Amino acid sequence: MVDRNPWLTFLSHAVLVLGVSIVAFPLYLALVASTHTAEAIVQSPMPLLPGSHLWENYRNALLGSGKLGSTTNVVHMMWVSFVVAITITLGKIAISLLSAFAIVYFRFPFKMLCFWAIFLTLMLPVEVRILPTYKVVADLGLLNSYAGLSLPLIASATATFLFRQFFLTVPDELVEAARIDGAGPMRFFKDILVPLSRTSIAALFVIQFIYGWNQYLWPLLMTTSEDMYPVVIGIKRMLAGGEAAVDWNIVMATAILAMLPPTLVVILMQKWFVKGLVDTEK
Amino acid sequence: MEKRVLFRSAWLPWVLIAPQLAIIGVFFFWPAGQAVLQSFQMEDAFGMSREWVGLDNFRQLLTNPDYLGAFQRTALFSVLVAGIGIVVSLALAIYADRIVRFAMVYKTLLIVPYAVAPVIAGVLWVFLFSPSIGVVTHYLGRLGYQWNHLMNENQAMALIVLASVWKQISYNFLFFLAGLQSIPRALIEAASIDGAGPWRRFWNIQLPLLSPTSFFLLVINIVYAFFDTFGIIDAATQGGPGQSTSILVYKVYLDGFKALDLGGSAAQSVILMCIVVVLTVIQFRYVEKKVQY
């Protein structure tokens, strides 16, 4: 830094500690609530320090059926969330790599039309066209299926956009060299372009995994059978009984469990995540 | 922008692009087309009959005080979410940019809300502010302030604004921090040599240079408040009390799936699509500009 003013450094830390505390407080309280009995939480005010019922609550949350007002347990719901998130993530990355490759490295009729058709989808979220999409999926007989849960969410161009931007920065000399060595387009794609895109792929993986894991409105409409509920829906359903009947300790334990996978992905892959986030919007 | 060197093949590009076109065709253009079509039709709730009504659905919407009210609420909500979110995260980013020690710890803790699902964010904040068991409600009560977002419309709005800002802070913070760190050190040092203090440097150098980032975040935050807050609202207030927190996206859902007014819901979808297209155009023009410098 230019000037070393100890007061300013102190002030910076003070502001950040305050900010971080406020941001982290809801998470902290959820964690605390997941270590108490339901009775302790209902007392007002609830304790602000962790209690001793951690294992019990998490075991009940994970395996106790019936508590959720349904017969499925959280382990199964987390599995559904995981399958959907991974399908969306890998599907989107694969499809977008191929289409971005076609758009950047080939010239073909109606190229601009395809380009704009894809980019029109860039910002129109599924929430906006929810009812007609529901009808289409119902007509195709995909309600209550993994395909129905994930395919409509793959239909957006964010990843294509990112890969296109990246491919445009890849030096033309690489294509020339590949051609001189007699490599065809698919060989070039497989051996040069995809390995070069590793960082972008990692970044997209983080963003899309979180996007897929956290979907709510779409599965809410799509799934009527309990064994297809993702965990996010499960939590919402636990609250359906009205506040007095809710076992908040179990709800919060489930919430913590549901937050764990995406949070771990963000924290462990922080470097790529930040890069990906900032790059997607360039 | 185009590549100088291209591959030549009559069929390969079509094969490559086919999966993407198929998916957006079936799950994007088909439903979007249906929405446009339905918005000009009136259908009874059992799907037995359908008739062409022209612009009637739109006329009904735009003269319906309920819908206009939802429009105003959405505008207020998105301005509050974008404004508060941007100011708070800018402040945090400015201070985070100054320090070296513990920077990683602060940053890691601040990006966690990004990973939290909107519904769970709603649940967490309801838990804090629940009229019967909420911790914050309890301490506010001791200070003599009654909190009950199930009865008080302004408090309900405040609650969803809080939860939405909280969820979006990570995103804004990361962009501001990246923006600040890309400002050349030489500029700051030059200003410092000329005797500008930290406050002056912020107003005259950092803030103006961050204006593209701020504008971009403004658009993104408005889009976020419009469309991605469904889960927060559904968990926290379910649009109530009355209609006081049912914003446009929530109303599409209520009218379409709960009230089964298909034509009206489709017309609402079309209006939302138009809003998104306008916002996209604004953003693209901004992207073009940014590429130039």
Interface test with B, best of A128, A140, A170 (most B CBs within 10 A): A128
d(CA B49, CA B35): 17
Query: How many CB pairs below 8 A link A and B?
Result: 296
- Extents of the domains making up chain B: 71-292
The yes-or-no verdict on residue A73 having pLDDT over 60 is yes
Amino acid at A75: V
pLDDT per position as a tens digit, A38-70? 778 877 778 888 888 788 888 877 776 544 455
Instruction: Give the per-residue pLDDT at A280.
Output: 58
Question: Using CA atoms in the order B139, B144, B149, B150, what is the torsion angle rounded to 10 degrees?
Answer: 110
State which of A158-162, A184-188, B57-61 shows the largest mean pLDDT. Answer: A184-188
Taking the CA of residue A233 and the nearest CA in chain B, the distance in Å comes to 8
pLDDT-based confidence at residue B36 (cuts at 50, 70, 90): confident
Assigned fold of B71-292: MetI-like fold (1.10.3720)
Q: For the segment A249-261, what is each residue's pLDDT rounded down to a tens digit?
A: 888 888 999 999 9
Output the pLDDT for position B291. 40
pLDDT 10s digits, B129-159:
988 888 888 888 888 888 888 888 889 999 9
The reply to whether residue A129 touches residue B31, judged by beta carbons under 8 angstroms, is: yes
Q: What is the distance between the alpha carbons of residues A34 and A54, in angstroms, rounded to a whole number?
A: 6
Percent of chain A with pLDDT over 90: 20
H/E element, A222: helix A217-222
Check residue A34 and give its pLDDT. Answer: 85
What proportion of chain B, given as a percentage, has pLDDT over 90? Answer: 19
Residue A94 has pLDDT above 50, yes or no: yes
Hey, are the CB atoms on B127 and A122 less than 8 Å from each other? no
CA of A128 to nearest chain B CA: how many angstroms apart? 5
Do B192 and A210 make contact, defined as CB atoms within 8 angstroms?
no
Instruction: State how far the Cα of A54 lies from the Cα of A33, in Å rounded to an integer.
Output: 9
The mean pLDDT of A176-196, rounded to a whole number, is 89
Query: To the nearest whole angstrom, how far is the Cα of B8 from the nearest Cα of chain A?
Result: 6
Using pLDDT thresholds of 50, 70 and 90, give the confidence band for residue B287.
low
CA pseudo-torsion sign A136, A140, A143, A145: negative
**Cα A45 from Cα B209, distance rounded (Å):** 46
CA distance A39 to A45: 12
- Eight-state DSSP code of residue A227: G
Smallest CA-to-CA distance from A13 within B46, B245, B92 is with: B92
Residue B286 has pLDDT above 70, yes or no: no
| CA dihedral sign, ordered A89, B228, A160, B4 | negative
Q: What is the pLDDT of residue B45?
A: 58
Does the beta carbon of A136 lie under 8 angstroms from any beta carbon of chain B? Answer: yes
pLDDT in tens, A4-15: 678 888 888 999
Instruction: Give one DSSP letter per residue of B47-74, joined into a string.
Output: SS-EEE-TTHHHHHHHH-HHHHHHHHHH
Going from the N-terminus, what domains does chain A have, and what CATH number goes with each? 34-280 (1.10.3720.10)
Chain A residue numbers with beta carbons less than 8 Å from the beta carbon of B123 are 235-236, 239, 251, 255
Quick check: A130 pLDDT over 90? no
Average pLDDT of the segment spanning A216-222? 87
Q: Does A112 contact B at CB distance below 8 Å? A: no
**Band of the pLDDT at A20, cuts 50, 70, 90?**
very high
CB contact set of A218 (below 8 Å; sequence gap of 6+): A126, A130, A149, A152, A153
Q: Are strands B41-43 and B50-52 parallel, antiparallel or unpaired?
A: antiparallel
Q: Check whether A155 has a pLDDT greater than 90.
A: no
With a CB cutoff of 8 Å and minimum separation 6, the contacts of A182 are: none
According to the model, what pLDDT value does residue A115 have? 82
Say if residues B120 and A258 touch (Cβ distance below 8 Å). Answer: yes
Which of A77-86, A117-126, B170-179 shows the lowest per-residue confidence on average (mean pLDDT)? A117-126
- Distance in angstroms (rounded) separating the CA atoms of residues A110 and B128: 55
d(CA A127, CA B247): 13
Give me the percent of chain B exceeding a pLDDT of 70: 93
**Residue B42 binned pLDDT confidence (cut-offs 50, 70, 90):** confident
Q: CA B102, B104, B109, B110: dihedral to nearest 10 degrees?
A: 110
CB B113 within 8 A of CB B121: yes
